[in-house]
């Protein structure tokens, strides 16, 4: 006996909202960033920037894709995308952090050189962004991590960052970025045994895979500090 079949209708979960194409593009762009497919991320975020109603993350995502790409793009071009994102979403904590963290990364890059005047100007921008974020979420560990990182620059007074670092560490004591920062603060305070303890804790879970470069760098930094020798973050040891 022949059985007639009707057309199958798409099944949608009860109460589920239809997929937002822009949201899907954002998620795929994030996936591209996290998987190292920067060209894909650049295309996805770039297409969203060209729409009639672009979202803030489209601009900051495009900025992220460009700054991680090996192709030369001016820092002002990249910064402009982050600035546009903050203009579109002035109350978005992550967007606010993005601009400050971009300049933090640029000023830490050994291959980039800026005049003293330019550095001071960028420090001002960075501090303004991080302070805005802190005023919005004073207990957020990433915000406190960012504030503490600002005060680790040689031009700043590291003592002013101690309270931020302590708050970040209290919230996420096992986070590798926060532990690395805690070790640097311990060295700045000449708490060498504590710094050594933190470094050992960071290296322990990874010993089967070899020691990561940032842990080896911390060991060298600590050794130099113990010997009262100058440590150059841009030198090859």
CA torsion angle 43 47 48 53 (round to 10): 170
Residue 172 buriedness (CB in 10 A; 0-12 / 13-18 / 19+): middle
Q: How far does Cα 165 stand from its chain's mean position?
A: 16
Provide mean pLDDT across the span 93-111. 95
Contact present, 172 and 178 (Cβ < 8 Å): yes
What's the chain's average pLDDT? 90
What is the C-alpha to C-alpha distance for residues 30 and 61, in angstroms, rounded to an integer?
Answer: 8
Residue 1, pLDDT > 70, answer no
Domain ranges of the chain: 21-89
Q: What is the pLDDT of residues 115-156, one digit of tens each?
A: 999 999 999 999 999 999 999 999 999 999 999 999 999 999
pLDDT band, very low/low/confident/very high, at 52 (cuts 50, 70, 90):
confident
Provide mean pLDDT across the span 171-178. 96
pLDDT at residue 68, as a whole number: 86
Provide mean pLDDT across the span 175-197. 97
pLDDT at residue 190, as a whole number: 98
* Threshold 0.75, pTM exceeds: yes
What is the C-alpha to C-alpha distance for residues 80 and 69, in angstroms, rounded to an integer?
Answer: 16
pLDDT at residue 222, as a whole number: 97
pLDDT at residue 39, as a whole number: 94
């Amino acid at each position: 006996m022949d059985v007639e079949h009707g057309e199958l209708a798409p099944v949608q979960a009860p109460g589920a909202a239809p997929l937002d194409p822009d949201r899907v593009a954002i998620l795929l762009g994030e996936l591209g960033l996290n998987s190292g497919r920067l060209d894909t991320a650049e295309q996805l975020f770039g297409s969203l920037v060209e729409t009639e109603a672009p979202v803030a993350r489209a601009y900051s995502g495009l900025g992220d894709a460009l700054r991680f790409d090996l192709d030369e793009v001016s820092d002002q071009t990249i910064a402009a995308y982050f600035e546009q994102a903050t203009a579109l979403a002035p109350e978005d904590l992550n967007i606010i952090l993005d601009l400050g963290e971009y300049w933090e990364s640029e000023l830490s890059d050994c291959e980039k050189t800026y005049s003293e005047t330019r550095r001071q100007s960028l420090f001002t921008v960075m501090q303004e962004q991080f302070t805005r974020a802190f005023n919005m979420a004073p207990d957020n560990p990433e915000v406190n991590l960012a504030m503490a990182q600002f005060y680790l620059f040689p031009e700043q007074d590291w003592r002013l960052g101690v309270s931020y670092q302590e708050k970040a560490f209290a919230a996420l004591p096992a986070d590798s970025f926060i532990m690395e920062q805690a070790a640097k603060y311990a060295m700045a305070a000449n708490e060498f045994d504590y710094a050594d303890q933190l470094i050992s804790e960071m290296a322990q879970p990874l010993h089967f895979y070899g020691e990561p470069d940032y842990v080896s760098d911390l060991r060298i930094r600590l050794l130099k500090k113990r010997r009262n020798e100058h440590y150059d973050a841009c030198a090859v040891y």
